[in-house]
Amino acid sequence: MNTPPPRRPGRQKRPRVPDALRKRAARACLPCRQHKEKCHGGGPPCARCQQHNRTCHFEDARPKPSAMLAAPSQREIQMERIIRHFLGDDISLDPARLEETADLLENGRYRGTPPETRGKGDEDQTSESYSLEPLSTNTMHYSGELSHWNFSKMIRRRLQSLGTPKGQNDACAPFLAFSHCTADGSIREYFPPRPVAEFLTNTFLEYAQTNYFYFPEIVFREKMDYYYSVDRPLVIDDAGWICTLLMTFAIGTQFAYMQTSSTEKPPFSEDIPDDRIGMDLYRFSCRLIPDLITTASLETVQAFLLLGVYTLPIDTAGLAYTYYGLAIKMAIQNGMHRKHISPTIPQVIVEWRNRLWWTAYSLESRISILHGRPVSVSPSETDADMPADLAELRPPSGISNLPNVTAAILLTKKLEKVAQVILRLRRCPRSHQDTYLHQLYNLRADLSKWWDSLPNTVHCRDLDPAGPLFRCNVHLELHYATALIYMGRPFIFLQKAADSVGYGSETEGSRAESIEKFSQNCTQAAIRIIDLCQLLHDSVGLARVSYTEFSSCRTALLALIAQLLTGSSEPIGGALTRGMGLIRQICVGLESARSEVAVIEALERARQQLDHGERSPLGEAPETGYDQFQKWAKLWRL
């Protein structure tokens, strides 16, 4: 006797019931379904719709799975429309090409439809995307795509092709004003004696230039020789170099005391003659700003950058931010942000322009990011070449800071990516947080790998106090550690919240682990900054006007205070104590810095009061009304 095969476990497929034996209709019409009534079928119209005098109709049969896969969905169709709208009708929708385009967009290097998808006719349109015309060796006229200037040039070429003589439309040349320089008669009165000028120049190059490029040293000294000996009236074109000279001297006065030994350095006080001299040079240079804006030349960018450097420790978010913005505007007006391929311009001028652009871009972007402001130029809008080694631009000493300059630029670009991901993470729904946390983790790993790849001899990571670029290298690592703090400090207080809630799932546990890792990296970077500042203090000395040293130390102290609020740790407390002592030395003589230090001190006192559960330590004299007034006055200046 044959036994039936065993039944498979699980839900069995029901056999089809013939239509004649069905108690319900095989398909219900839409009106019966909407009214939740039993449809008797037999239509259209069905018996019930015929009874109620309704229009009976049935839903179209669903397409077969093969048809659904073959036809694009509405979502795909609309996405293709969006892609063609933003990237052009000639964009290739091939998966490989789309992946390449997505990578270019993510890296900020996509500037239009990929070249492989363009037709021959598009090449003519590409050449019209922007124009860069030299007016002189140091001034150029830039016009972007779809500008009035480019369109007028197109009309001009069309007229020439129709036989119009070239001389009849030369009026299209850009206008450049020439006049006497502002305050011509009093400029030379502000030039210090030549030996003092040499001393201040050397001081600037040694202590203020660090990891940026402001001018070629050889050209600067040639211009200094020229303007100290020339006896002609100065014109508006001289304003750029005059301001560059004066502001270099002014910045040199800020760091002049660094040239003395530690035992000869003047005691810290609020009234320092060097500051008054530098301020006089700065105020006179401000009188040249209208001339600088009018000329908008290579030297104009230099001058505005130096104005920003001088005011950086005085008013970072105000004056310095504005001067860097003006430097960016002048550079864009000269087309420095675009790749220059004209064979008529000497290579040394092209490289000079590239280095100035990237210095302005790095300084302005860094200040904007750390102060929560939008950057002036998107990375996708610039394609200027990165700085390259050129014999004509090497310093006479033979030791170039070019590797450090390049590293500072790349570090700024990486900081921009971190800022974008953190901003998306803060604004995204909770379901997308893991995606951005993963992106941030990859950026952290990439940043660490990149840092480890930098040279550790002479440049970048060489922290030998006897090295020629020791202070520059310390500043570069301060920037690196500050980027780690910027990446991790949003998670300091989230770490405590994650620990208190617990891990509800594997995803929550992974998220809490990432938060804890970022928080730990932030704390380690803050302690590293304190160690680096201590290293500077014990070797070449801390500079009381160095924005990099002050802002890094301040950032580290705020991160340590925040970390102590989540749970005290002895190593953190020791680093905090050392850092408070160091920052008090840096801020001497700068009112804005002292006010910011007062805020940090107030936060630390409040933390200690919470930690000890009492308002003031035992034996400490109570504050007088005048003491309270002074603290309020310092906070009021913020």
3-class SS of residue 143:
strand
Task: Give the tokens for residue 252.
Answer: 């040199």
Query: Which residues have CB under 8 Å from 635's CB, separation 6+?
Result: 595, 598, 599, 602
Enumerate residue ranges in the chain where pLDDT < 70.
1-14, 16-24, 42-43, 60-72, 88-90, 92, 96-97, 99-100, 103-104, 106-154, 157, 163-185, 261-274, 341, 495-509, 568-570, 589-591, 611-638
Contact assessment for residue 150 and residue 189, using Cβ atoms and an 8 Å cutoff = no
Dist CA 128 CA 121 (whole Å): 12
Contact assessment for residue 470 and residue 540, using Cβ atoms and an 8 Å cutoff = yes
Specify burial of residue 371 (Cβ count, 10 A radius: 0-12, 13-18, 19+).
exposed
Dist CA 334 CA 328 (whole Å): 10
Dist CA 142 CA 138 (whole Å): 13
Give the containing element (helix H, strand E) for 586.
helix 570-586
Measured between alpha carbons, how far apart are the two ends of the chain, in Å? 98
For residue 506, what pLDDT is reported?
58
Q: Report DSSP state, residue 235.
A: B
For residue 601, what pLDDT is reported?
80
Dist CA 362 CA 87 (whole Å): 28
Category of 108 on φ-ψ map: left (φ > 0), alpha (ψ -120 to 50) or beta:
left
Task: Give the tokens for residue 414.
Answer: 């990486």
Query: Which residues have CB under 8 Å from 217's CB, separation 6+?
Result: 205, 395, 396
The percent helix, strand, coil of the chain (3-state, each to 5) is: 65, 0, 35
Q: What is the 3-state secondary structure (H, E, C) of 417-485?
A: HHHHHHHHHHHCCHHHHHHHHHHHHHHHHHHHHHHHHCCCCCCCCCCCCCCCCHHHHHHHHHHHHHHHH
Contact assessment for residue 479 and residue 553, using Cβ atoms and an 8 Å cutoff = no
| Residue-level length of the chain | 638
Specify burial of residue 40 (Cβ count, 10 A radius: 0-12, 13-18, 19+).
middle
Q: Report DSSP state, residue 142.
A: E
Task: Give the tokens for residue 425.
Answer: 């993470």
Dist CA 65 CA 195 (whole Å): 87
Radius of gyration of the chain (CA): 34
Contact assessment for residue 452 and residue 462, using Cβ atoms and an 8 Å cutoff = no
Dist CA 289 CA 239 (whole Å): 8
Q: Would you say the pTM of this structure is higher than 0.85?
A: no
CB atoms within 10 A of CB 246: 25
Give the containing element (helix H, strand E) for 615.
none
Task: Give the tokens for residue 351.
Answer: 């490289």
Tell me the angle at which helices 547-565 and 506-538 cross, rounded to the nearest 10 degrees: 140
Q: Report DSSP state, residue 608.
A: H
Q: Report DSSP state, residue 238.
A: G
For residue 447, what pLDDT is reported?
96
Backbone angles phi, psi at 350, to 5 degrees: -60, -45
3-class SS of residue 24:
coil
For residue 484, what pLDDT is reported?
97
Distances (CA, A) of 298 to 9, 227, 330, 352: 81, 18, 8, 9
Q: Looking at the DSSP assignment, which residues form a beta bridge with residue 143?
A: 131
Dist CA 138 CA 512 (whole Å): 55
Query: Which residues have CB under 8 Å from 321's CB, separation 6+?
Result: 308, 364, 367, 368, 371, 373
Q: Report DSSP state, residue 79.
A: H
Category of 390 on φ-ψ map: left (φ > 0), alpha (ψ -120 to 50) or beta:
beta
For residue 505, what pLDDT is reported?
55
Give the containing element (helix H, strand E) for 33.
helix 30-34
For residue 472, what pLDDT is reported?
97
Q: Which residue has the tokens 């949003």?
A: 490
Task: Give the tokens for residue 163.
Answer: 């036989």
CB atoms within 10 A of CB 284: 18
